[in-house]
Structure 1
Amino acid sequence: MLTKEREFYSPFVHAIVGIDEAGRGPLAGPVFAAAVLFDPSYQNEEINDSKKLTEKRREELFLEIEKNAIAYGIASVSADEIDEMNIYEATKKCMLAALSKIQVPYDMIITDAMKLKTEKTLVAMVKGDAQCLNVAAASILAKVSRDRYMEELDKKYPQYGFAKHKGYGTRLHMESLKKYG
């Protein structure tokens, strides 16, 4: 069970938002980020780093997270914006946009190793998505949201196979780029 964030709860810290992203590595598509706030008593042993879960399990957990989170936010930054500002700045912008959708009070933020400028206390934890429930939940929301986007993009551009590789530099994707540009 992911419980690292429990170390941060105190008389002054009652609500911790976890933030993570999906889409920093692909050759195509936007970056997505999500922010999740659970009640400190909430537990779910199935929630884990999205990379450790099957696509089917991520989809199932997406619904669980939506149902059980006190609040959550999901945002994206387009491929054009990524090209304009760079993936690092685009990811920060995306994470802050997801965080802005949390409309309830919170005391602290934990990200998966990303430093953000915010008025709240922030912990940029390496492998936060593998240690903290809220960050792992955010990784699932971001990944599923981005995958759904890429599946829709596949309907518009089926020759690229986005539904299969989600924009990552797989052999199929590289072959389709050579063939179709």
Structure 2
Amino acid sequence: MICGVDEAGKGAVLGPMVVAAICVSDLASIGNSGIRDSKSLSPRQRELLFDDLVSSYPYYVVSYLPSAIDAALAGTTINHLIVEADAACITALSPEIAYLDACDVNAGRFGENVSRSLPFSCTVIAEHKADHSYTVVGAASIIAKVTRDRAVEALKEEYGAIGSGYPSDPATIRFLTDYIREHRSPPPCARRSWKTVSALLARQNQSSLDDF
């Protein structure tokens, strides 16, 4: 069995980070299904492929809520958290070979860290942009992306217009700014450990002092 692993939401300030893995008997089995890096697909295409993938192949998903990310980052790094999640996904599927999209700037080091975290022998191949190079990793990226997108949609139903959840999105920053101004604290769906949030809190605190 061959496994592909990828993440979605590593850099987001709102919502979960999702790591997903999928297992196939051979790489050719999904080679002609239109699967590629999830970011190059439309939401509709991702949804259709997601439904087909999860009904056809073994898969596993690990999701970290913002509170869990904040708690973990008090003693580790986001890359180490992804190493743990990758290892959990691979362990759940027990493949002989696992292809990973490397989150570390040093792809080899990332693969070695995941390999050391496994309770069994598995050939681990970690590369940058592996979702472009290996269809099985592209398939994992689709599962991770759709899982996170659905979580973000649920947050929109609760909070309204929150944007994509990434710091580069003006709608996300506008939502956070307004929420912090009104509540004097970030929403539960925000990663408090992110610099984006701490900067907005500092700005709000300074504004309150100026008003006083």
Structure 1 residues 163-174: aligned runs within 5 Å? 164-165=163-164, 167-169=165-167, 170-174=169-173
Q: What CA deviation, in whole Å up to 9, does each residue of 1:86-139 have, x standing for no partner? A: 32222222223333332xx52111100143132311111111100101111000
Contact between 1:18 and 1:110, CA under 8 Å: does it hold in 2? Answer: yes
Q: 1:33 matched to which residue of 2?
A: 19
Q: 2:174 matched to which residue of 1?
A: 175
| Shift of residue 55, structure 1, vs aligned partner | 0.8
Q: Structure 1 residue aligned with 2:88, among 77, 81, 97?
A: 97
Q: 1:53 matched to which residue of 2?
A: 41
Q: How many Å separate the matches in 1 of 2:25 and 2:159?
A: 41
Q: Identity rate of aligned residues, in percent?
A: 32
Q: How many Å separate the matches in 2 of 1:97 and 1:149?
A: 21
Q: Structure 2 residue aligned with 1:73, among 51, 56, 60?
A: 60
- 2:123 aligned with 1:125: no
- How much is the aligned-residue C-alpha RMSD, in angstroms? 1.6
Q: How many Å separate the matches in 2 of 1:140 and 1:122?
A: 20
Q: How many residues are matched?
A: 160
Higher helix share: 2
Secondary structure in 2 matching 1:101:
helix
Q: Normalized against structure 1, the TM-score is what? A: 0.81
Q: Structure 1 residue aligned with 2:154, among 152, 155, 172?
A: 152
**Letter of the aligned partner of 1:89 in structure 2?**
H
Q: 1:3 matched to which residue of 2?
A: none
* Worse overlay, 142-151 or 73-82: 73-82
List structure 1 runs of 4+ shifted beyond 3 angstroms.
none
| Shift of residue 57, structure 1, vs aligned partner | 0.5
Name structure 2 gaps, 5 residues minimum. 103-109, 181-212
* Structure of higher CA gyration radius: 2
Q: Normalized against structure 2, the TM-score is what? A: 0.70
Q: What CA deviation, in whole Å up to 9, does each residue of 1:1-42 have, x standing for no partner? A: xxxxxxxxxxxxxx2111000010111111101111122141
| Shift of residue 50, structure 1, vs aligned partner | 0.6
Secondary structure in 1 matching 2:62:
strand
Q: How many Å separate the matches in 2 of 1:96 and 1:150?
A: 25
